[in-house]
Structure 1
Amino acid sequence: MPSDAEAQSQPAPSSAPSSAPATPEARTDCPPPAKSWKPKACVTHAEHGKGTIIAATGKGDTAELIVEFDSGQKTVTGKSVKACKRSLSDDLLPIGILIVVITVVIIRLPKVELGHTTAFRKRRLLNWLPLGLSYSFLYFGRYNIKMFQGEFEGGLTAAQYGTVFGVGSAVYGLSFLLNGPLTDRWGGRRTILIATMGSGFANALMGYMAISGNTFGMTPTVAFAVAFAINMYFQSFGAVSIVKVNAAWFHLRERGTFGGIFGILISLGLYFAYDVGKRIVELTVTEKGDTAQWLFWIPAGILWIFFVLSYIFVRNQPSDAGHPNFDLGDGQKADEKPLTVVQVFVKLLTHPVILVISFIELCSGFLRQAILQWGVDFGKALGLNDETKGWFDSFVFQNWGMVSCIAGITGGIFAGAISDHLFQSRRSPISAVLYGIMLVGAIAIVPLLSVHPGAIGWVVVAMSMAIIGVHGMLTATASADFAGKKNTGMAVGIIDGFVYVGSTVQSFLYGAMLPASKITGPDGCPMTNPEASNVSNWMIWPAAMIPVALVGFALSLKIWNARATKGGGGH
């Protein structure tokens, strides 16, 4: 795939002298960089099995390595060994154990008795499970674009990625103005089908562009921004659909726990996008010239499978599945007259609680993506994803997807349980507590940049737990509580639209301000940017998060006592 410079090259004006050295023209025939072998790194050998490097001389295939194997110390060449890779089972086991433990804890919590029959509970499970997993895999098909930021053929640079994700985020946020009302009109079942089919198509398109290099006459940045924008339009149906459907199946007093389940679904999607996505790239991009089309084609295929499952099992409300509808206890009058789209929009935007929630979630959008999108780049730039740095410093950044998944599951499910059982189904108190964690974490990163950067990974884990918990409580739960079942689609649309305003702002801000991991070297080939490993260049990362976290915390305190009442009010 041609670079932007090649696809849209323009001659520099000869009459503009400059004292600065000219930027070398990027080459496309650069050899792959020679691999650096580091002491303490794990390697595998065809004859001797797994071992640990004791010392290394040279780079790449010709390097001479002294390796400690089970059979003793051996001297081998770089060509004869491969770096160890974690198996998926190593990651899935702790995630599975965590889910089992959380399930046991939730089962043991005091029950919210609403008279549901066993048959109803089983049918509700059959309804939300394929719907929820569809949403998880929509996340897979959304954040896989991050793994397309790489050094392989056609991969995006940090600046290109910032533009592509920023454009997609803007489209995602604006799409809710249309897709929220459409979901209220058509029902969540139809719109989750639109989301899975459309996002699958967009991912298939990006995979085609990755393998063929065909960008339809556009620069790669523009082409992927357009394709990702198409993807994000269909993705915007996802959150609206799952909250819309589940608003009809869960009573207000059960929705905190559902908000926790929403956090689990998000977290599983992040794991697939980051860790499984990374493994897809590792397994399919092994030689110079290889492309990363499977990074897009695998999520596309999974989304189409869940299109079929959602078509078979998902229904908009209990009565569509042979069970009676019931009073949901939320902000919806039983005899409320239908309103026009404009009337609903005005009603929601002038609702004192929903408006404040929207601005809290704008802060959440900024902070969530600031952590998830740029934390992994921070770890790479400072070499914290290198196992030779030691377990404490490297574990989080080596296992970004798994750790983010576990943190999100923990934060989401316990935030939901505490909201329902300790705060009587009020969502703001637990959101304020979680925003307090976000604020303390952002402040703590500033001195740690200078004192102990490796500890930042564990601070980010706590922040991930907090921000995913907030998002589940407010977007997935409070929106349905205060807007009522009939207006849930528009409420989620408005709130999630604000989320992606925050996402858009951070994407362009950090894309422009943070150091690129690679630059063009004097010979025209990519080289590591020495500025990326300078911790002072990362100060903008936590500095921008601190005021945003402070605003979110203050707004959460403002609506601490807000409750949903019949008719959509809040007090």
Structure 2
Amino acid sequence: MRHLASILITFLIASLIPAAIFAAETAEATKKSPFIKSLQELVAILILLATVMFVVARLPKNKSISHAPAYERRRRWNWLALGFIYAFLYMGRYNLTVSKYEFGKLNLMDTGDFGVIFGIGTLVYAFAFLINGPLTDRFGARLSILTGAGGAIVANILLGIVSLEAVRSGGAIGPMGGVANAIAEPFFHAFVGLRAFFGISSGNTTASPLLPALSILYAVNMYFQAFGAVAIVKGNAPWFHVDERGVFGGIFGILISLGVYFAYDWNGLLLHVFKGQIQLVFFVPAAILAVVFLIGLVVIRNSPAEAGFRNFLTGDATAGEDDKPSNPIRVFAMMFKNPIIMTIAAIEFCSGFLRQAIMQWGYVYGKATGLKEIFVMQHWGLLLCCAGILGGMFAGTISDHLFESRRAPVAAVLYAGMVAGSLIMCLLIGNTMLMWVIILMSLAIIGVHGMLSGTMSMDFGGAKNAGIAVGIIDGAVYLGTAAMSFLYAWRLPEGDKAKDSANWSEWPLWMIPLAVIGLVLAYCIRNAKPEGKGAH
């Protein structure tokens, strides 16, 4: 009963977030005084603090699983180190979205260009699991997350140099941009030719001369970013019993949410304080990643045994098997033959489409249609973060304590919310309340992603094969994101047309069928639970 009350309170708080700020929002219609602006900043900080305090205070504990206090402390440090690297990887991933508006001022990126760059990057991310999943299973999460962070640091530094050259020259190509363009040219033209074959236009390299360079550097960044999700699931699988993993799925959602906050609000603050200095949204995440890289090097261990504790049977699909790495080809074949894994991947394809359709393009829509001064746009990352935290913990709590550690029923509940949200969006195009609907939809979709990619992948892949399992599932997420990016780059308005909200009517329409498919598939596997070979 206590857990049901916790669930209801979580939903109540989530539903009251827009109402709590409505007075501040309506003040936007009048001249905003310094007092009102300061009050809004204070409200934003209080929302984040209240959300975190509420979630931490009510974090449920599974009484059937007990660990020594020393073990729980060491486990906490392990996932915190992994988690903050993962969160700051987000800051170095979605900085592209924040920089899009500033690149546009230099005539280097319009809406279509952004869709192409982001689409190419997410396509690389989607197929990176073919390499990164087996590597992570073979060499462990520690090496994997550090490799991902190290590569992302280098890629963001290069993106920062190209941006700095463009800023200093007023939009011209500098030496680093020229080298990157030369390397990217043959690949980019092959990509443009393929899309032209299907009658789909791509970015204009004459109008946007840095498009090939930004595309290839962002693709390199996304390859290394792809180590993150694989590593965090692989790294935590040996530390959590299957009956504890619903709450871990919530933690996974929190880490994603913090990453979104860092990406949008911290990077946005950099551009607000240092006007036009686009390079900072690449250099600063690289510097922060370097710090957490060093922390991870010291703290992260692949298993309890490596940290001086005894390994235990986690109750997942590979519990009780020996620790020797499996043949990756055999594991891939086994995963692709598993109807549950394939259904999860199909659901997560829908999640990948929907998650970035609202989070990325909601931000682009707000900027393009003149909403950048309203409260929700000023605190886009923070509000997405709060919604994601509540969604993640709601999903984890009801999975472990209402649905007996089954994840799919949670996904079905949240997908029902996505269907409703997509329909409501169609009615609110041009209304500022649309942005609040997006925030609430992010609560649902981050909860789904945490349950399926963060938890169900390790349940059905097992601790031993978690790298490949999450690679397949997270790869499907980014295939969905890539499909969405290319579709929206083709269909959504550009230039002056993007300033009129009436031209954005197709944006939510494409979400509806994906939300319905996700709901139906989640319902179809509502009773799925791994058959563990061992107990705690």
Shorter chain as normaliser: what TM range?
Answer: 0.7 to 0.9
Aligned equivalents of 1:506, 1:223: Cα separation in 2 = 22
Matched ranges for 1:318-329 at <5 A: 318-329=304-315
SS of aligned partner of 2:58: helix
Q: CA deviation at 1:123?
A: 0.6
Q: CA deviation at 1:425?
A: 0.5
Aligned equivalents of 1:40, 1:242: Cα separation in 2 = 46
Q: CA deviation at 1:98?
A: 1.0
Task: For CA contacts below 8 A with separation 6 or more, give which structure has more relative contact order.
Answer: 2
Aligned equivalents of 2:375, 2:506: Cα separation in 1 = 24
State which of 197, 205, 216 in structure 1 corresponds to 2:178.
216
| Corresponding position of 2:405 | 425
Q: CA deviation at 1:86?
A: 8.5
Are residues 1:342 and 2:329 paired?
yes
Q: Which is worse superposed, 141-150 or 207-216?
A: 207-216
Letter aligned with residue 119 of structure 1 = A
TM-score in terms of structure 2 length: 0.84
Unaligned runs of 5+ in 1: 1-37, 44-49, 53-83, 387-393, 519-528
State which of 39, 42, 48 in structure 1 corresponds to 2:32.
42
| Corresponding position of 2:142 | 189
Q: CA deviation at 1:255?
A: 0.5
Are residues 1:407 and 2:387 paired?
yes
State which of 367, 384, 387 in structure 2 corresponds to 1:380.
367
Are residues 1:561 and 2:514 paired?
no
Q: How many residues align?
A: 467
Q: CA deviation at 1:291?
A: 3.3
Aligned equivalents of 1:87, 1:188: Cα separation in 2 = 41
Aligned equivalents of 1:114, 1:224: Cα separation in 2 = 48
| Corresponding position of 2:338 | 351
Are residues 1:509 and 2:487 paired?
yes
Q: CA deviation at 1:458?
A: 2.0
Unaligned runs of 5+ in 2: 1-27, 167-173, 182-208
Q: CA deviation at 1:156?
A: 2.6
Larger Rg: 1
Q: CA deviation at 1:130?
A: 1.1
SS of aligned partner of 2:530: coil
| Corresponding position of 1:131 | 82
| Corresponding position of 1:525 | none
Percent identity of paired positions between Structure 1 and Structure 2:
44
Aligned equivalents of 1:201, 1:87: Cα separation in 2 = 37
Q: CA deviation at 1:176?
A: 0.6
SS of aligned partner of 2:77: helix
Q: Which is worse superposed, 207-216 or 148-157?
A: 148-157
Deviations 1:512-560 (A, max 9, x none): 21112x3xxxxxxxxxx1x324333211111100000000000000000
Letter aligned with residue 510 of structure 2 = A
State which of 233, 255, 259 in structure 1 corresponds to 2:245.
255
| Corresponding position of 1:160 | 113
Does the Cα contact within 8 Å between 2:137 and 2:325 map onto a contact in 1?
A: no
Letter aligned with residue 246 of structure 1 = N
| Corresponding position of 2:438 | 460
Q: CA deviation at 1:157?
A: 2.1
| Corresponding position of 1:314 | 300
Q: CA deviation at 1:212?
A: 1.6
SS of aligned partner of 1:347: helix
Are residues 1:443 and 2:423 paired?
yes
State which of 510, 513, 520 in structure 2 corresponds to 1:547.
513
Deviations 1:200-227 (A, max 9, x none): 1100110001112321252301101111
Does the Cα contact within 8 Å between 1:413 and 1:469 map onto a contact in 2?
A: yes
Q: CA deviation at 1:381?
A: 3.3
SS of aligned partner of 2:101: coil
Aligned equivalents of 1:39, 1:100: Cα separation in 2 = 32
Deviations 1:482-527 (A, max 9, x none): 11111000000000110010000111111221112x3xxxxxxxxx
RMSD of Structure 2 on Structure 1 (CA)? 2.0
Deviations 1:233-280 (A, max 9, x none): 100000000000100100000111011011111111111111111111
SS of aligned partner of 1:329: coil
Query: Relative to structure 1, is the Cα distance of residues 197 and 434 closer, same or farther in structure 2, using a 3 angstrom cutoff?
Result: same
Aligned equivalents of 2:64, 2:121: Cα separation in 1 = 43
Query: Relative to structure 1, is the Cα distance of residues 208 and 533 closer, same or farther in structure 2, using a 3 angstrom cutoff?
Result: closer
Does the Cα contact within 8 Å between 2:101 and 2:367 map onto a contact in 1?
A: no
State which of 50, 64, 70 in structure 2 corresponds to 1:119.
70
Deviations 1:289-334 (A, max 9, x none): x431111000000111111000100000000000000110111152
State which of 231, 243, 246 in structure 2 corresponds to 1:241.
231
Deviations 1:18-39 (A, max 9, x none): xxxxxxxxxxxxxxxxxxxx97
Q: Which is worse superposed, 423-432 or 507-516?
A: 507-516
Query: Relative to structure 1, is the Cα distance of residues 344 and 208 closer, same or farther in structure 2, using a 3 angstrom cutoff?
Result: same
Letter aligned with residue 261 of structure 1 = I
Deviations 1:377-408 (A, max 9, x none): 2223333333xxxxxxx432332111111110
Query: Relative to structure 1, is the Cα distance of residues 335 and 492 closer, same or farther in structure 2, using a 3 angstrom cutoff?
Result: closer
Does the Cα contact within 8 Å between 1:148 and 1:156 map onto a contact in 2?
A: no
Letter aligned with residue 102 of structure 1 = V
SS of aligned partner of 2:281: helix
Query: Relative to structure 1, is the Cα distance of residues 300 and 335 closer, same or farther in structure 2, using a 3 angstrom cutoff?
Result: closer
Aligned equivalents of 1:89, 1:308: Cα separation in 2 = 33
Q: CA deviation at 1:154?
A: 6.7
Matched ranges for 1:198-213 at <5 A: 198-213=151-166
Does the Cα contact within 8 Å between 1:192 and 1:241 map onto a contact in 2?
A: yes
Q: CA deviation at 1:51?
A: 7.4
| Corresponding position of 2:196 | none
Q: Which is worse superposed, 135-144 or 95-104?
A: 95-104
Aligned equivalents of 2:42, 2:234: Cα separation in 1 = 34
Query: Relative to structure 1, is the Cα distance of residues 333 and 114 closer, same or farther in structure 2, using a 3 angstrom cutoff?
Result: closer
- Whose helix proportion is higher, 1 or 2? 2
Letter aligned with residue 326 of structure 1 = F
Aligned equivalents of 1:564, 1:143: Cα separation in 2 = 34
Letter aligned with residue 425 of structure 1 = S
Letter aligned with residue 484 of structure 1 = G
State which of 141, 163, 166 in structure 1 corresponds to 2:92.
141
Aligned equivalents of 1:262, 1:299: Cα separation in 2 = 20
